[in-house]
């Protein structure tokens, strides 16, 4: 990826959606959001890597999905209630819930690993816009980072104040979540992440996607299923792609002309794109 060029130029030259590795590539004994998971994502050809951020009670930033400590650490204590020293003694578990040798990496460690290699989607950015932005700048990855928040006024004001230069993608469920007012703010708006329970929702309609592209904005879509009670892709998902038909899942999203597809099955999506031409 050439970070001397804009993300719009890189998308055009790629001539396919960006491949986004959700929490890296994990499975078996490789935990998600681990250094190993991110190295595998790089080796499998990710264009974008998604990371989650948590902060210890003494203000240190780590790559970990907030509130998932009982699942991924088998811990009754949350990172926000731990010191960095306490967290350093914890180990991530594998998919069978067995402790591994993998530690929870620091945010700076992951940003440094990914520097000059891929775009970096920093999720949970809204939890501490100022502090996370400072870590992004400390690592020198401003040109690679894509940050997200919802479109509430408080979040937008924080982005304007602390991160007006970082590539910004708001999460939207309704087509009117993006307005001319947002386009006119001191924010580096590059696109929108569309969340749609039904594939008839307006924010995934051909008309809406065209209107975003006409404004030179990119469309981020997800094929992941994080929670079956909260579908964000109209069931055009990794699951459907893998056990029914990739044309109904990934192919449907590609035909919609989206610009990013976030997946938990990076290599298989990549192979599908290559074979589909």
Closest among 147, 114, 116, 143 to 131, alpha carbons compared:
147
Whether residue 158 lies inside any domain: the answer is yes
Whether residue 50 lies inside any domain: the answer is yes
Whether residue 168 lies inside any domain: the answer is yes
Closest among 118, 156, 151, 114 to 135, alpha carbons compared:
114
Whether residue 276 lies inside any domain: the answer is no
Give the containing element (helix H, strand E) for 42: helix 35-43
Is residue 186 predicted with pLDDT exceeding 80? yes
Whether residue 31 lies inside any domain: the answer is yes
| Overall average pLDDT of the 175-201 stretch | 87
Is residue 53 predicted with pLDDT exceeding 90? yes
Whether residue 277 lies inside any domain: the answer is no
The confidence score (pLDDT) of residue 181 equals: 73
Question: What is the rounded distance in angstroms from the CA atom of residue 13 to the CA atom of residue 30?
Answer: 33
Whether residue 147 lies inside any domain: the answer is yes
Closest among 62, 109, 107, 105 to 82, alpha carbons compared:
62
Whether residue 2 lies inside any domain: the answer is no
246: three-class secondary structure by DSSP = coil
CATH number of the domain that residue 32 is part of: 3.20.20.190
The confidence score (pLDDT) of residue 182 equals: 82
Q: What letter would DSSP give residue 163?
A: -
For CA atoms 241, 246, 250, 256, the dihedral sign is: negative
75: three-class secondary structure by DSSP = coil
Burial class (CB in 10 A: 0-12, 13-18, 19+), 241: buried
Cα-based distances in Å from 185 to 56, 125, 158, 208: 32, 19, 12, 21
| Overall average pLDDT of the 96-103 stretch | 97
Q: How many domains does the chain have?
A: 1
247: three-class secondary structure by DSSP = helix
| Overall average pLDDT of the 257-273 stretch | 98
Q: Which domain holds residue 152?
A: 7-271
Q: For 54, phi and psi rounded to 5 degrees?
A: -130, 155
- Dig out the tokens for 19 from the structure: 């491949």
pTM: 0.96
- Dig out the tokens for 4 from the structure: 């001397």
């Amino acid at each position: 990826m050439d970070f001397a060029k804009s993300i719009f130029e890189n998308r055009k030259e790629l001539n396919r959606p960006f491949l986004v590795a959700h929490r890296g590539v994990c499975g078996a004994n490789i935990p998600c959001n681990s250094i190993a998971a991110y190295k595998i994502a790089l080796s499998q050809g990710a264009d974008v890597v998604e990371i989650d951020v948590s902060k210890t009670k003494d203000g240190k930033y780590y790559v970990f999905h907030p509130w998932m400590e009982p699942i991924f650490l088998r811990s009754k204590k949350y990172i926000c209630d731990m010191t960095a020293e306490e967290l350093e003694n914890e180990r991530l578990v594998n998919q069978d819930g067995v402790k591994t040798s993998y530690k929870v990496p620091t945010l700076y460690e992951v940003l440094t690993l990914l520097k000059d290699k891929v775009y970096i989607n920093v999720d949970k950015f809204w939890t501490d816009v100022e502090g996370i932005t400072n870590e992004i700048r400390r690592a020198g990855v401003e040109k690679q980072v894509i940050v997200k928040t919802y479109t509430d006024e408080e979040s937008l004001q924080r982005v304007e104040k602390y991160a007006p230069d970082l590539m910004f993608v708001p999460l939207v469920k309704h087509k009117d979540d993006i307005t001319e007012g947002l386009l006119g703010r001191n924010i580096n708006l590059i696109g929108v992440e569309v969340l749609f329970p039904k594939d008839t929702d307006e924010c995934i309609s051909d008309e809406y996607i065209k209107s975003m592209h006409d404004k030179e904005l990119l469309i981020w879509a997800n094929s992941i299923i994080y929670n079956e009670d909260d579908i964000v892709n109209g069931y055009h998902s990794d699951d459907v792609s893998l056990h029914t038909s990739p044309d109904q899942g990934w192919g449907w999203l590609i035909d919609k002309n989206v610009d990013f597809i976030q997946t938990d099955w990076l290599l298989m999506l990549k192979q599908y794109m290559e074979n589909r031409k």
